[in-house]
Chain A
Amino acid sequence: MRVAVDVGGTFTDVIVLDETRGSLRFEKVETVPTDPARGVLSGFDKAEADINAIRYFVHGTTLALNALLTRTGARVAIVTTRGFRDVYELGRNDREPMYDFKYRKPESLVPRSHVFEVDQRMGFQGQELSAFNEAQAREVAQQIAALDLDAVAVCFLHAYANPAHEQRMRDVLAEVCPGLSVTLSSDLSREYREYERTSTAVIDAYVKPITRSYLEKLDDKLAESGLQGNFLLTRSGGGAMTVETAKHQPVQLILSGPAGGVIGSAVFGELTGHKNLITFDMGGTSLDVSLIAGGEIHMESQQRFQGLPISIPTIDIHTLGTGGGSIAWVDDGGHLQVGPQSAGADPGPVCYDKGGSQVTFTDAALAVGYLDPANFLGGDIQLNADHARQAIASLAEQLGMSADETAAGILRISEAKMAGAVRVISVERGFHPGDFTLLAFGGGGAFVGAAVARELGLPRVVVPPGQSNFSAFGMLMIDLVHDFSQTHVTALEPDQPQSLEAINAIYADLHAAGNAALDEDGFSDDRKVFQAQAELRYQGQEHTVNVGLPGTVLQADDIATIIASFGEAHRAQYGHAMDDKVEVVTLRLRALGLLPRPEIPRLEKGDANPESAHKGARPVYQYGQGESADYQIYDRERLLWGNEIEGPAIVEERTATTVIHAGDRLGVGEFGELIIKIGAQS
C-alpha cells in the first residue's frame, strides 16, 4: 500500500493506493494549522488506511512556505564577515515598481540587531586572506545564546570557494549554544553572489525549527502507530527525499506542496505518452504553472519568493495570483480588470452568500452558466446566482456593457492572464507552446484549460483522474533524488581533450557521493540511476544553459557533440548561436533511487457513446456573440474508457468542472484521464 498526503493551507488531500486490490481512494480533510501532524493522522483514519500495510508514505507540505509567507518562522541570527553586516538587509537594492518613490522592501526575516560579524576573510580563489578569529567567534556565539534565538545562518564571503571558516563557526556554535540549529551557506550553495547565498541560508534557518519539530513529531506518531514503510517528502528540486534529509535541509521543502503536482505530472505524462507537458494547477487564490520537456522538469538555478532569493536548483514554477476568488474591478481609465486582489475563501465570492460584495471569477462563471448552483463542491455549498448577477449588473453599469458581456469578459480577461503565465514558462523560456500538452488540474485547471490552450495554440488538454487531488496523486509515483554539483570553469574545445581528465575526475567524485547517499537510503545497484548535466556558456557570458551529457565518463568524441547541443539549446532559448569559445561552468549529477512504479487502476472499457453519463444541458453565454449556446452536461464518475464527447460540453465531478468548447472533442483514456483535442472538429 502507498499513501500520499498533501497538506495545503485549507485542506489536506489523502490518496491511498492499494496495489493488492487495485483500488485508489481519495479523501479530503481539513488542515489543522495548530497541529498539522494531527491533520495528517486524521486523514489516514478517514481513508481507512492500515498503517502497518504501508510501504511508502509520501508527503508534501506547505508548512515551510506558509511560515515564510506569514512571517511565522524562527528567530534567526546571521553570522557574517566583519564589514558586511548589511549584505542581507541591503540585498541587491533594486525594486520592481519602477515609479514608486516611497517603496519599502518586504519585511526582513532578520532584524539588524541579530546580525553579527566575525574577523575572517577568504579570497575568491578560496585563499585565506585573514585567519578565523576564534575568540571573537566565541563571543558572538555567547551573544547569540543570550538573545535566546532559535537558529543561526552563517554566511562568510567566498565560502563557496572555501567553506573552512564557516565550518569552524559551526563548531564554535555547537560548543557554545548546542541547542541551536545552524545553517551554513556553503552547505546549500556553491555559487558566488553573497546576498543570494545569505538569503538561501537564512530561509533554511528560518523554517528549520518549525519543520524539524513537525517532522519529528509526525515521524514519532507514525512509528507509534506502526508505520514500518518509508517516510518520504517531496522536494523543491524535484523527486523525493527521506525525512532525515528534509530535517537537515528544509529549504528543499519550500515548494514541497506544488512540486508534488509537477513531479506527478512528469510520471503521469510518461504513463500516458505525453512527454511535453505544461502543468496548469489552479486553485482558489492562485495558479501554478510549470513545464516538462521530453520528460524532464524544467528547473531554474534561482527562484525568488516574495522577493527573497533561494539559490538552489528548483522546479521552475510560475505563480499567478489568479483563481476562483480573484476580484473584478473597473480602473480609473474605465477598463475592466481582474485581480490580483482575491476574496479568498472568506468572505469569498458574492454567490457564497457569506458577505462578499465584490464580483469574483467564480461569480462570473456562475452567471454565464458554466457552474450548477446546486452542485458546487458536490452540493456542499449552495450558490446564490441571483446575488452574483446583481453584483455583476452594477459593475456592468460602470463599464457601459451588458451584464452577460461583463461576466463573460471577466472570464476572458482571466484566461488571457493565465495564458500570459503559460507564456512566461514556455515562450519566454524559449519553448513553443504548440509542442506541449496542457495538463490541467487543481479545483479550476480544467475549467479554463481548453480556453487557455486555444489561446496559445496548444493542441490538447489532459485532465488527470482525481484532478482536484492530483498533487497528492502525483506523489504516489515519485523517485528518490539527490543532487550534487561542482563549479569547475574550463574551456571545452574538440582539439583539447585533456580538459576532460579533470571533468571526469569530478564526476567520479560526484558519482561516489551519489552512490553512497543511495546506499544509505537502502537502494540496490539495479535501482540506481545517475544523470549528468553541465551548465555551459560562451566564454565571456555569465549566465549558463543546461545541457544533458552522454554519461559521467566523457570521451574525446563527446566534446563536439556537447558543443553542438549547447549551440542548439542557446539558439532555441535566445534565438542565436555564436562561434565563440564554449566553457563549462558547473557540473551536475542527479542520483536517482528508483521506487517500484505503482499499478494505476484502469477504467472499465466502454464504447464511444457517452450517453450513460449524460445529465442534461445548460445554456452558457458566449463572449462577444450576444447569445448563449447549449452545453451538454456529463457526469465524470459515470464516464467509461473510450467514451467520446463533442464540445460544447461540461463534465462535472464532485470538486471540479471540465469545460469543452465548440469545436473541441473529448476522449476518455484508460486511467480515466480526459483528453481534450482543441479544434478537433474543424
Chain B
Amino acid sequence: MSQVDAVTIEVINNYLQSAAREMNRNLIRTSYSTIIYEVHDFGLGIYDRHCRMLAEAPGIALFTRGNDYALKKMIEHLGYDNIYPGDLILLNYPYWSSAHVLDVLAASPIFAGDDLVGFTAVKVHWLDLGQKDPGYVLDSTDMYQEGLVMPCLKIYEKGVRNKAVEDLIRFNSRMASHVLGDMNAQVSSCRTGEKRVAELVEKFGLETFETAVEAILDHGERLARARLAKLPKGTWSAEDWVDDDGINKDDLVKLKATVTITDDEMIVDWTGSSPAVEGPLNLPIGLTVGLCGLIFKGITTPDTPANEGNFRPLKVIAPKGEVMHAEPPQPTFALWIALLAPEVITKALAQAMPDTIPACSGGDVFTVMGVGTHPESGAMWVEATNECVGFGAHAGADGENGIMHMTQPGSRNNPVEVLETKAPWIIENYCLRQDSGGPGQHRGGLGITRTYKFLTDASVLTLVKKTKTRPWGMEGGETGENGHVILWPETERETFTGMIYEPMKPGDRLVNNSGGGGGWGDPLQRDPEAVLRDVQNEYISSASARDHYGVVISPETGRVDEAATLALRASQAPQEQRKVSSL
C-alpha cells in the first residue's frame, strides 16, 4: 500500500467531519417533525466501503453505534453485487438495524466513478409505520405487532424513486405525509454525504483516499489503546434492574455486566442478565454492542471525533436468548434497556476507577408522548419530548443539573411554546426538582418536573423504565431521587407509575419527574459554603442541608452557623461505609 503523509491524512479527516456536519444540517433544516428538528432524535454518519464508521454528527449516540452493525447486515443481505450508484436503502428490521421498527435507517452507497468507496447512514425516528398502537408500542409480544418492516427496501434504485415502496409506506402509515417528508429529508442528507465524499475521492485519488482511511482508523485505534494502557486491569461486576418488561408489571428485569480490562482489550460480558422477556424489552445485539461502545469511548477517547478504530479494543459478550441479545421474532420495540444498561457498566467500573467514573445519573430519558386528533384540522398528532436528568457527581465536581442522559447527548427538549402550538395541551410547569440530587461531598445533579394538562381527548405514553431503583451514589455519596410519573395528581385517582399508555380526558393532568444524579463522597465533608449556596439557589432545602449535610443555616443572618454545624456534623458521623450505594 502506498504511503500518505500525516498532514494529508489530517486534511482528509477534517473534510469527512465537515461532510457529516453538512448532512446533519441538511436533515434538521428540511425535516417535517419536531422529533427531528427540535428534539434531534436521529443518528448519522459516513462509512467506508467495509462499513467502518469514519465520521458522525451529534444526535443520539446510540443510533450511530447501532448503525455500524446495521450496514454490515445490509451488505450481507443484499450483497455488494446488488448495490448501485443512486440506490437508497431503507432498513428497519430490528435485529439488523439495531433499533425498533420506527427508527428507520436510510443508507446509500457512495460511488466515485465506478468505484464503491463508502456509505452514508442516517437513522431517524419515524412517527408511524402502522404499529399496533399509535405513537409507540409498550406491550408487544412479538415483532409482527410492531409495524411495517422494511428489510433493505430500495426507495431509490439507480437514482430512480421506487413508487411501489413509497406506496407501501404511504398505505401503512397513520401519518404518511409527515413520514414521507422526513424520509425526503433523510434522502437529502444521504445525497449530500455521497456528493462530498465523492468530491473528496476525486480530489485526492482513490488510492490516497483508501490509504488515508486506513491511517485514520488506525490512528483512532492507537488513541484508544494509549488510554486503555493507563486504565486499571482486572475484572469487576455490577447488577441493576429495569422496572418491568411491559407485560409482567411486578417483575424487575435484571441486568448484569462483568467488565474485564486487560493490557489490550476491554471485555463487557452480559452473561447472568435476565433471560429473554415476554414484553418488548429484548435488545438487538447491534445495540448491545453499540451501548458498550458508548461507555468505552467515554472512558478512553471522549475528546476526539469517533471512528471505527476507537472501538477495536472492545469485545462484547451477550448470549443469545438472553435479554441483551434478541432473536426473531422476540419483541424489541421499547428499547429502554439500551438506555439503562450503560450505567450498569459504569457501576462495575466505579469500583475500579472511583476517581474518574461519575455516580449514576437520573438514569433514563423520561420521554412523554401525546397522541390524538387535532380538534381543528382533524389530523392525527404525535408530539413528544425527552426529558433531562441530573448527572452523577464525581471526584472532581457536582453533577450537572438538568442535562440529557449520556445516551442522547445531541438530543434536546421540545420547547414549551412549540409543544403548545403543535398539540392541544398546556404545560403547567417545567423546573428543577429540589432535593432530587443525591447528597454527597459532591452533590448529584437535579432532575426536573414537568406537568401536562390535556385539553381534548388524547392518549399519553410515558417511556420510563427506571422508577423502582434509585440512581446509585459513590464513595459514601447517597442515591439520587428516582424518577416517576404521577397520573391525575392531587385527585382521588392519583397514581404513581412508570411506563404507561393511558387515555386522557379534557382537564386530565400528568406529572413527569425525572431522576437526580447520585452523590459522590460523604455529604458531611461537603464545604458548608457550597451547601449554603445550594440553599440560596433552592437546589436543596434547609431541611436537607441539616439532615443530609449537617449544615445549620442561621435564619437571622442567612449564613452558616459554624458552631452549630460542627456540633451537628460530629453527632451525625460516622456514615455507613458503602462504596456504591444502591436501592
9 extra A-B contacts, CB within 8 A, seeds A84-B429, A578-B184: A90-B401, A95-B404, A101-B361, A111-B537, A157-B417, A193-B418, A428-B25, A542-B38, A576-B30
Task: Give the docked Cα–Cα distance between A538 and B5 (Å).
Answer: 46
| A 177-192 contacts with B by CB, 8 A | 192
Interface size on B, residues (CB 8 A): 88
> With A90-B448, A123-B420 known to touch, is A192 a contact of B404 (CB < 8 Å)?
no
- B residues within 8 A CB of A333? 219-220, 222-223, 226
> With A336-B10, A413-B10, A543-B28 known to touch, is A99 a contact of B448 (CB < 8 Å)?
no
- B346 on the interface (CB 8 Å rule)? yes
Contact A94 B181 (CB under 8 A): no
26 A/B residue pairs, CB under 8 Å, sorted by A? A84-B429, A89-B401, A90-B402, A90-B448, A93-B386, A94-B58, A97-B302, A99-B61, A100-B302, A100-B303, A102-B358, A102-B394, A113-B538, A157-B416, A332-B222, A333-B223, A416-B11, A423-B18, A424-B21, A428-B22, A538-B181, A541-B32, A574-B29, A580-B181, A623-B7, A624-B5
- B residues within 8 A CB of A424? 18, 21
- A399 on the interface (CB 8 Å rule)? yes
Task: Give the docked Cα–Cα distance between A90 and B431 (Å).
Answer: 8
Task: Give the docked Cα–Cα distance between A333 and B401 (Å).
Answer: 34
- B421 on the interface (CB 8 Å rule)? yes
The smallest beta-carbon distance between B389 and chain A, in angstroms, is: 9
| B 294-324 contacts with A by CB, 8 A | 294, 297-298, 301-304, 306
Task: Give the docked Cα–Cα distance between A624 and B30 (Å).
Answer: 42
Q: Which of B37, B417, B432 contacts A89 (CB 8 A)?
A: B432
| B 1-34 contacts with A by CB, 8 A | 5-7, 9-11, 14-15, 17-18, 21-22, 25-26, 28-32, 34
- B residues within 8 A CB of A101? 298, 302, 346, 358, 361, 391-392, 406
- Smallest CB-CB separation from B24: which chain A residue? A428
- B residues within 8 A CB of A193? 415, 417-418
- B50 on the interface (CB 8 Å rule)? no
Q: Which of A97, A103, A423, A576 contacts B188 (CB 8 A)?
A: A576
- A residues within 8 A CB of B30? 541, 543, 570, 574, 576
Contact B432 A86 (CB under 8 A): yes
- B192 on the interface (CB 8 Å rule)? yes
> With A94-B40, A193-B415, A540-B32 known to touch, is A335 a contact of B10 (CB < 8 Å)?
yes
- B254 on the interface (CB 8 Å rule)? no
- A residues within 8 A CB of B397? 102, 104
> With A101-B358, A336-B6 known to touch, is A86 a contact of B537 (CB < 8 Å)?
no
- B191 on the interface (CB 8 Å rule)? yes
Interface residue ranges, B against A (CB under 8 Å): 5-7, 9-11, 14-15, 17-18, 21-22, 25-26, 28-32, 34, 37-38, 40, 58, 61, 177-178, 181, 184, 187-188, 191-192, 195-196, 219-220, 222-223, 226-227, 294, 297-298, 301-304, 306, 346, 358, 361, 386, 388, 391-392, 394, 396-397, 400-404, 406, 409-413, 415-418, 420-421, 426, 428-432, 448, 451, 536-539
Task: Give the docked Cα–Cα distance between A95 and B431 (Å).
Answer: 19
- B residues within 8 A CB of A423? 15, 18
- A residues within 8 A CB of B394? 102
Task: Give the docked Cα–Cα distance between A333 and B415 (Å).
Answer: 41
The smallest beta-carbon distance between A539 and chain B, in angstroms, is: 9
> With A157-B417, A413-B7 known to touch, is A103 a contact of B400 (CB < 8 Å)?
yes
Contact A542 B37 (CB under 8 A): yes
Task: Give the docked Cα–Cα distance between A401 and B3 (Å).
Answer: 14
Task: Give the docked Cα–Cα distance between A193 and B34 (Å).
Answer: 12
Contact B297 A99 (CB under 8 A): yes
The smallest beta-carbon distance between A326 and chain B, in angstroms, is: 14
The smallest beta-carbon distance between B393 and chain A, in angstroms, is: 9
- Smallest CB-CB separation from B428: which chain A residue? A83
- A residues within 8 A CB of B25? 428
Contact B400 A104 (CB under 8 A): yes
The smallest beta-carbon distance between A304 and chain B, in angstroms, is: 13
- Smallest CB-CB separation from B38: which chain A residue? A542
| A 572-628 contacts with B by CB, 8 A | 573-576, 578, 580, 623-624
The smallest beta-carbon distance between B210 and chain A, in angstroms, is: 18
Contact A574 B11 (CB under 8 A): no
Task: Give the docked Cα–Cα distance between A524 and B507 (Å).
Answer: 58
- Smallest CB-CB separation from A123: which chain B residue? B420
Q: Which of B184, B301, B413, B448 contacts A92 (CB 8 A)?
A: B413
- B residues within 8 A CB of A419? 14
| A 459-496 contacts with B by CB, 8 A | none
Contact A84 B416 (CB under 8 A): yes
- B residues within 8 A CB of A570? 30
The smallest beta-carbon distance between A92 and chain B, in angstroms, is: 4
- B residues within 8 A CB of A623? 7
Q: Which of B15, B391, B404 contacts A94 (CB 8 A)?
A: B404
- A residues within 8 A CB of B38? 542
Interface residue ranges, A against B (CB under 8 Å): 82-87, 89-90, 92-105, 111-113, 123-124, 129, 157-158, 160, 192-195, 331-337, 399, 401, 409, 412-413, 416-417, 419-420, 423-424, 427-428, 538, 540-543, 570, 573-576, 578, 580, 623-624
The smallest beta-carbon distance between A203 and chain B, in angstroms, is: 18
Q: Which of A160, A335, A420 contacts B6 (CB 8 A)?
A: A335
The smallest beta-carbon distance between B61 and chain A, in angstroms, is: 5
Task: Give the docked Cα–Cα distance between A19 and B282 (Å).
Answer: 78
Task: Give the docked Cα–Cα distance between A428 and B227 (Å).
Answer: 34
Contact B220 A427 (CB under 8 A): no
Task: Give the docked Cα–Cα distance between A520 and B301 (Å).
Answer: 58
The smallest beta-carbon distance between A115 and chain B, in angstroms, is: 9
Contact A86 B404 (CB under 8 A): no
Contact B9 A335 (CB under 8 A): yes
Task: Give the docked Cα–Cα distance between A580 and B185 (Å).
Answer: 13
- B residues within 8 A CB of A332? 222-223, 226-227
- A residues within 8 A CB of B416? 84, 87, 157, 194
Task: Give the docked Cα–Cα distance between A624 and B428 (Å).
Answer: 64
Task: Give the docked Cα–Cα distance between A209 and B415 (Å).
Answer: 30
Task: Give the docked Cα–Cα distance between A443 and B426 (Å).
Answer: 54
Q: Which of B9, B58, B178, B403 has the most CB of A within 10 A?
A: B403
Q: Which of A85, A86, A334, A576 contacts B187 (CB 8 A)?
A: A576
Task: Give the docked Cα–Cα distance between A540 and B181 (Å).
Answer: 8
Q: Which of B37, B400, B448 has the most CB of A within 10 A?
A: B400
Q: Which of A86, A105, A578 contacts B430 (CB 8 A)?
A: A86
> With A112-B539, A540-B177, A540-B178 known to touch, is A417 a contact of B7 (CB < 8 Å)?
no
The smallest beta-carbon distance between B107 and chain A, in angstroms, is: 17
Q: Which of A123, A334, A540 contacts B222 (CB 8 A)?
A: A334
- A residues within 8 A CB of B410? 94-96, 98
Contact B303 A97 (CB under 8 A): yes
The smallest beta-carbon distance between B249 and chain A, in angstroms, is: 29
The smallest beta-carbon distance between B458 and chain A, in angstroms, is: 17
The smallest beta-carbon distance between A628 and chain B, in angstroms, is: 18
Contact B184 A576 (CB under 8 A): yes
> With A103-B400, A111-B537, A540-B181 known to touch, is A86 a contact of B431 (CB < 8 Å)?
yes
The smallest beta-carbon distance between A431 and chain B, in angstroms, is: 12
- B residues within 8 A CB of A129? 426
Task: Give the docked Cα–Cα distance between A575 and B421 (Å).
Answer: 30
Task: Give the docked Cα–Cα distance between A573 and B22 (Å).
Answer: 10
> With A428-B25, A543-B28 known to touch, is A89 a contact of B430 (CB < 8 Å)?
no
- Smallest CB-CB separation from A92: which chain B residue? B412
- A residues within 8 A CB of B404? 93-95
- Smallest CB-CB separation from B37: which chain A residue? A542
Task: Give the docked Cα–Cα distance between A336 and B9 (Å).
Answer: 10
Task: Give the docked Cα–Cα distance between A573 and B21 (Å).
Answer: 14
The smallest beta-carbon distance between A568 and chain B, in angstroms, is: 15
Task: Give the docked Cα–Cα distance between A123 and B416 (Å).
Answer: 11
The smallest beta-carbon distance between B318 and chain A, in angstroms, is: 22
- Smallest CB-CB separation from A121: which chain B residue? B426
Task: Give the docked Cα–Cα distance between A93 and B387 (Å).
Answer: 8
The smallest beta-carbon distance between A295 and chain B, in angstroms, is: 24
